[in-house]
Chain A
Amino acid sequence: MNHIQGFSPAAASALEKIAEEVSVCMQCGTCAGSCPTAPAMDYTPRALMRLLQAGLFDEALHSRTIWMCTTCYSCTVRCPRDIHVTDILGKLRGIAIAEGYAETAGMTFNKAFLGIVRRYGRMFEPELLIRYHLRQEPLGIVGAAPIGLALLQKGKISPLPERLPAEGLAQIRRIFEAVEARRKAAPARPHPMHEVSR
């Protein structure tokens, strides 16, 4: 029995749970064959499950795969071993962010999105777009402008954020804080697999 090395205790704990779930993967590839973006991934979803089975968590978290998932759930619905592949990829995205992996476009998007939810309680698209483009592709905002203008004309973009009332906002912030506190406090469990490398 080993504990997963080289990660924060919270991440090690989350990875242990994931490893347990993927232990029954039989590598049939149904997930990859059902995935609309698998051809653009560095590891197919099936190969990613294999990395997790082999304890190669670092490779899994570095992979482009976790950021190429559209969360369409085709893999999850069809998995013959009832592995919740889509949800596992989602959790890996969270671990990659928390563990400070190199920022990808998808990571910028997720951080900006949740930051806005935390601030206003609701989405505010213009800020999301600006924050995303400032960090990822500043010129992209020019490309998005025509559609943005069209939507603005039709009243489909609001120029100002809609905030929850103060009491609601306080609740939302408490939720974020409590979730983060629990994530950090997750107890590490022994990892029932062979030698784990990072």
Chain B
Amino acid sequence: MTPTHESEKPRIGVFVCYCGSNIAATVDVEKVAEYAATLPNVVFTQTNKYTCSDPGQEEIRKAIIEHKLNRVVIAACSPRMHEVTWRRLLQGTGLNPYLLQVANIREHVSWVHQDRGEATQKAKELVAAAVERVPLHEPLEPRQVKIAPSTLIVGGGIAGIQAALDIANAGYHVYLVEKQPSIGGNMAKLDKTFPTLDCAMCILAPKMVDAGRHENITLFSYSEVESVEGHVGQFRVRIKRKPRYVKEDVCTGCGLCTQACVLKDRILSEFEMGMGKRGAAYIPFPQAVPLKAVIDPEHCLLLTRGKCSMKCIKACGPGAIDFKQQEEFIEIEVGTIILATGFELYDMSALPQYGYGRYDNVVDGLQFERLCNASGPTEGRIVTKDGRVPEAIAFLHCIGSRDENTNPYCSQLCCMHTLKLAHLAREKTPARIYEFYIDLRAGGKGYEEFYKRVQHEGIHFIRGKGSEVVQDGDKLIVRAEDTLLGKVVEVPVDMVVLALGMVPPKDIENIARIFNINRSRDGFFMEAHPKLRPAETNVEGVFLAGACQGPKDIPATVAHASAAAAQALSLMSRGQATIEPIIAEVIAEKCSACGECIVACPFKAIRMDEEARHAYVVSAMCKGCGTCAAACPSKAIKMAHFTDQQLIAEIEGILGRMSEYELA
């Protein structure tokens, strides 16, 4: 595309948006437009009810043509909202899309200020800044990149499995990386699922098997992503395969080694949430995919002490056990990435008042789930640690959720999860059952109906948060206020189940760093837009599936995973993507080859040309963050669209008007 009139004297059009009453209620939009008309190089101003709407855009298009505008300033919402929309609009008129500047007078003005006079003044200043800056804009040309037809999926819980199957079934290749020895995630630990009471494993296992066998899915279990380089369409991923000490291609999953292991039933099982035990040679659970044994290097006597009778080796017919295995690294290239790294349970032992980790019969929601499960450590019998059938069980909601001392957010699914556990307990025991809750949140298809069903089953609901649990002989005393009666109650029970609070996995910070994506205040990964782009991230080509973005139950997780898969598929089927031309460039003559920029770059996108003695930017890897330009002591790096001159002009725009304001 050839730029038309942008090299001539600047002819700026300023368009000020009402955004209905979003802006206009606080900012005098007409005054801002009148003021803009007085600024240098401004030849046209207009106000619009909704600048982003079709008629709004049409007016701008007409104005650009009629008034031969070669620069456009739009004063409206955050550029994160509609900058791309308006760039497309400019392009349609033949103007280079980067000759636009957006002044944010909504998020930065009307939504955060109350005084109309001051807000209007600030809006004027922001418009002045944009008007000063925009003449210095240079036309930039976006780059096209090819999208490799493959996806990396990190995490093999229900989210990762669902996304993998969606993509693989569409004919694209998937690399599914799971850090545990088996896929299945937290859903595999559940007994039944609310509100329909489907057996969790019965609906999950077929999907696990499909994912394990699919011709378009390469499964790397017991593996982790080490590093990622590149950009949308061409991510180079390095995967670490931890040694299983069992040859995957030889092991038949018969389990004889797990029976032979001298540490059999001596190590707390992660899958059983510490309620059951395993050996150092183990298969996590009967439906594991891949159904292969693994040897735990933290406990195995041979691997920790160098001495063991090695009964596992003798027991293994095919000779699959191999203590010489080492870490392996595999490099793959993919076009898109989906993160499905899930959640962990909040560590309730941080709240001593509930006795978790101190009293035997205080358990968390997933531990209770294992007690209910027929393949669990008690074969589905709900009993206390010392084998008693409980006479009373208390379920405490909101432990580790909705609490400024732990996690301020609601974990969303624990109300329903806890209701389901109460139902299972009612089915399996004659116990009196209490639910201590603050608010029962049963928003979802069939959820309120399930709540009513559980009420009908004779479960006692006490509206008050469990305040503390004290052991008294065989009994655990739950103290709380029945807030609807205004009376403090002390309820003796035999088991206490603490509702699960969901938190990001401990290694989420590392994952965020590897993929360079943002996290929200709750610690989970941040989506590109909370309503309209829930499965995308700040990095193009990297998508989110399931609870890694925030607490979700199974239906929401599956929907989110399919959304992420659809986003990835849409990119891959298009085959190519446009990437922003807003990147750094080293001006070779000014560069002293000091290397500061190479250290500063978070994307490893700058290299040193040792012969020519200057740094250079690998443009495909540059994300345009500008860190290098700020770090360069020789001012030898030019950040396109954020040049020093452009930024200074913007500041002068604000400061110049400020002084006028103070004089007035």
Contact = CB atoms under 8 A, between A and B. Distances in A.
Nearest to B479: A33
A43 interface: yes
Contacts of A82: 404-405
Interface in B461-482: 463-468, 479-482
Given A46-B481, A78-B353, A80-B404, A33 B486 contact: no
Contact of B488 (A26, A28, A33, A80): A33
Interface string B376-414: 000000000000000000000010001111000000000
Interface stretch (A15-23, A34-42, A189-197): A34-42
Nearest to B439: A26
A33 B468 contact: yes
A29 B438 CA distance: 8
B441 to A, nearest CB: 12
B403 A32 contact: no
A27 B482 CA distance: 11
B464 A28 contact: yes
Contacts of B439: 26
A3 to B, nearest CB: 21
A63 B307 CA distance: 71
Contact of A26 (B353, B438, B467): B438
B467 A78 contact: yes
A28 B404 contact: no
A28 B486 contact: no
A112 B404 CA distance: 38
Interface in A125-177: none
Interface in B161-208: none
Interface string B137-156: 00000000000000000000
A38 B52 CA distance: 58
B467 A34 contact: yes
B483 A46 contact: yes
A132 B482 CA distance: 36
Which size bracket describes the interface of A in this complex? 20 to 34
A78 B479 CA distance: 13
B488 A39 contact: yes
B135 to A, nearest CB: 47
Interface string A33-62: 111001100011011000000000000000
Contacts of B479: 33-34
A26 B486 CA distance: 14
A110 interface: no
Nearest to B465: A28
A122 to B, nearest CB: 37
B486 A43 contact: yes
Contacts of A77: 405
B385 to A, nearest CB: 25
Interface in B430-488: 438-439, 463-468, 479-483, 486-488
Contacts of A35: 488
B434 to A, nearest CB: 13
Given A39-B488, A80-B465, A29 B405 contact: no
Contact of A33 (B403, B404, B464): B464
Contact of A28 (B353, B438, B468, B487): B438
A81 B398 CA distance: 13
A45 to B, nearest CB: 9
**Leading 9 A-B pairs by shortest Cβ distance:** A33-B467, A29-B481, A32-B481, A29-B464, A80-B403, A28-B465, A33-B480, A82-B404, A29-B483
23 contacts: A28-B464, A28-B465, A29-B463, A29-B480, A29-B483, A30-B481, A32-B467, A32-B488, A33-B464, A33-B465, A33-B481, A34-B467, A39-B488, A44-B486, A44-B487, A46-B486, A80-B398, A80-B402, A80-B404, A80-B405, A80-B465, A82-B404, A82-B405
Given A29-B482, A80-B403, A80-B465, 10 more contacts: A29-B481, A29-B483, A32-B464, A33-B465, A33-B479, A33-B481, A46-B486, A47-B483, A82-B404, A82-B405
